[in-house]
Amino acid sequence: MILSKRLIFIKFKNMFSLSPEFLYWIMVAIPGILIASTVHEYAHGYTAYQLGDATAKAEGRLTLNPLKHIDPIGALSMLLFRFGWSKPVPINEYNFKKRELYTALTALAGPVSNFILAALAGIINHFLVKDPQSLIAFLLYTFATINVSLAIFNLIPIPPLDGHKIVRGFLPGKLKYYWEGLEKYSLILILLLILPFSPLQDIVFSFIGNTLTTILNFLGF
């Protein structure tokens, strides 16, 4: 079974604005998106490889080359609409000796890698940046924001996000069966999260925004 497409989501005000601030954000966000997406997918593949599944390695995806992981349309969508995707690293969970547990750990590796990148940005910002209004300070803040947002969104426990796989790994047998059944409704569930008229959108956006703010404050931004 192949792990589903990873999704990236960041909410900002004035989504369709072409203000100087928006264009400036696009310029500084590009390296952040490339690094965050690449490391996220690599972490999935590397963890799977260490746990017994060499599918990603066999298909040339166990690499930090962004060209192997970035979906051009997904990356462009991320820049313009704050919602996008990258190419999912192929994972065959039936190669794992402990399928549910190792699949959960593989899924968890992606968000954890993004939290680590955000923490590194926070450390650099704290010890090396003297002017909080400088370009490097804004680059680090944007980089941390992208990584934390990517991690939080992917931890939401619905398919096809990583959180769904993580939760499945710790559920008892019968409940696990019903949980897996949600995968057939992946598209509907994702649309309920992101469409402007969805009743869940405000709840999800509020959760992501509040959690993002808390983590960024903890990291010193």
**Catalytic residue positions?**
41
Q: How far apart are CA 79 and CA 126, in angstroms?
A: 27
Q: How far apart are CA 72 and CA 69, in angstroms?
A: 10
Q: Residue 153 belongs to what H/E stretch?
A: helix 135-154
What's at 53, amino acid-wise? Answer: D
Residue 19 gets which letter from DSSP?
-
End-to-end Cα spacing for the chain: 39
Kindly report the backbone phi and psi dihedral angles of residue 165, in degrees, each rounded to the nearest multiple of 5, phi listed first: -65, -40
Q: How far apart are CA 138 and CA 77, in angstroms?
A: 22
Cβ burial of 47 (10 Å; 0-12, 13-18, 19+) is: buried
Contact 75, 46 (CB under 8 A): no
Residue with structure tokens 């959960």?
104
Question: For residue 2, which of 109, 153, 107 has the smallest C-alpha distance?
Answer: 107
